[in-house]
Amino acid sequence: MKIDYIVVGLGLAGIAFIEQLKQHNKTFIVFEDNSQNSSKVAGGMFNPVILKRFTPVWQATEQLKIAIPFYKKLEQKLNCTLIRYIDIKKSFKTIEEQNNWYFACDHPKLKNYLSKDIQENTNSCIIAPNGLGKVTNVGNINTKILLDNYKKEISDFVIEEKFIHSKLQVASDKIQYKYINAKHIVFCEGYGIKQNPFFKNLPLKEAKGELLEIKTGNLKIDFILKSSVFIMPLSTDTYKVGATFNWKDKTNLPTENGRQELIDKLKKTITCDYKITNQVAGIRPTVKDRRPLIGTHKTHKNVHLLNGLGTRGVMLAPILSKKLFQAIENNKEIEKEINLNRFY
């Protein structure tokens, strides 16, 4: 079989890159063994504000300019709803947080998102002694619906088996994997990179995140609440709660420690009773300098990487896939701050 590209991994990065291939009439095969599920369990929020420090996300404007039309196009193609605009409300525990919020409202990159009017908290279930700050023009992407539907859409081009790196043969003019002959291979395998002999020495760190689903009839919010954790409405009286950061556990399995950590943080966020209905976990691929890893192997010019999207994969994947495709096909330079070559 002769094709243009082999893609390894069908998370957000893999989907975004495949869309580039389809747009430019490139042939491909994708390997997906469902070993990485961080994209599927993620909150999927698109939010240009770092709510811990009230600062703008790196290149958020450029990311959203490409990301929103990208997901709208996928909605039409897959005949499903992916984008939900929903406000985020940040609970203020101190006056200092209020003051920092007012200061951030004047930032030119944030003024279209942060409301200067701090809202009084009228919900007895929410712990916000100094009110709530509202973030608008934000929302989330339903990543589970996206991944499930996209996989069905391209099922003829998906090989559901583990990619064996040792069976890959790389020559200067071709890639050979079993019976497949390709011009290029792109690895979008998340923290699976740690077993990838071409890129395993890059400083990608695994950050395990666990989330809960809870049911409560008392909270009654139609916005995402951000405090010690985020609480995101899913359906009537059902919410997603997250997320933990664990730098030591490398498994996708939910843990009792993760569950208890979220319960403890919920106590600082809401006062109402709730029932835990589900717990999920995934490994985020993060980089020590908080920038993604994209580009081409230093020796093999037909071996490429799209990785390290971290917690903002829904915003990063569309723009990074475009940058990588243009670099491969048209020799356009990838800026140093995201180019994997910065670590060589």
79 in a structural domain? no
The answer on 226 and 127 residing in a single domain is no
- Residue 115's pLDDT is 96
- Residue 41's pLDDT is 72
100 in a structural domain? yes
243, 267, 287 — which closes off a domain? 287
Buried/exposed 163-177: b ≥16 CB within 10 Å, e otherwise: bebeebebeeeebeb
The answer on 199 and 293 residing in a single domain is yes
- By C-alpha distance, which of 177, 189, 197, 56 is closest to 113? 56
Spatial separation of the C-alpha atoms in residues 269 and 85, rounded to whole Å: 23
- By C-alpha distance, which of 276, 320, 265 is closest to 127? 265
- Residue 31's pLDDT is 97
The answer on 282 and 210 residing in a single domain is yes
75 in a structural domain? no
Which structural domain, as residue segments, surrounds residue 100? 87-137
The answer on 283 and 226 residing in a single domain is yes
102 in a structural domain? yes
Spatial separation of the C-alpha atoms in residues 310 and 316, rounded to whole Å: 9
The answer on 234 and 297 residing in a single domain is no
- Residue 40's pLDDT is 67
Task: For the chain, list residues with pLDDT below 70.
Answer: 36-40
- Residue 36's pLDDT is 65
Q: Which amino acid is at 150?
A: Y
Spatial separation of the C-alpha atoms in residues 268 and 231, rounded to whole Å: 12
* CATH number for the domain harbouring residue 37: 3.50.50.60
pLDDT in tens, 194-243: 889 999 899 888 888 999 999 999 999 999 999 999 999 999 999 999 99
Alpha carbon 220 to its chain centroid, in Å, reads: 27
324 in a structural domain? yes
In three-state form (DSSP H/G/I as H, E/B as E, the rest C), the secondary structure along 131-143 is CEEEECCCEEECH
Buried/exposed 321-342: b ≥16 CB within 10 Å, e otherwise: bbbbbebbeeeeebeeebbbeb
The answer on 283 and 208 residing in a single domain is yes
Provide CB contacts within 8 A for 263, sequence distance 6+: none
Angle at 271 between CA 269 and CA 273, to 5 degrees: 120
Residue 276 is encoded by which pair of tokens? Answer: 């835990």
- Total domain count, the chain: 3
Q: Does the reported pTM lie above 0.85? A: yes
The answer on 328 and 218 residing in a single domain is no
Spatial separation of the C-alpha atoms in residues 259 and 330, rounded to whole Å: 47
Compute the mean pLDDT over every residue in the chain, rounded to the nearest whole number: 94
129 in a structural domain? yes
| Phi then psi dihedrals of residue 100, to 5 deg | -65, -35
Q: Which amino acid is at 27?
A: T
101 in a structural domain? yes
* CATH number for the domain harbouring residue 240: 3.30.9.10
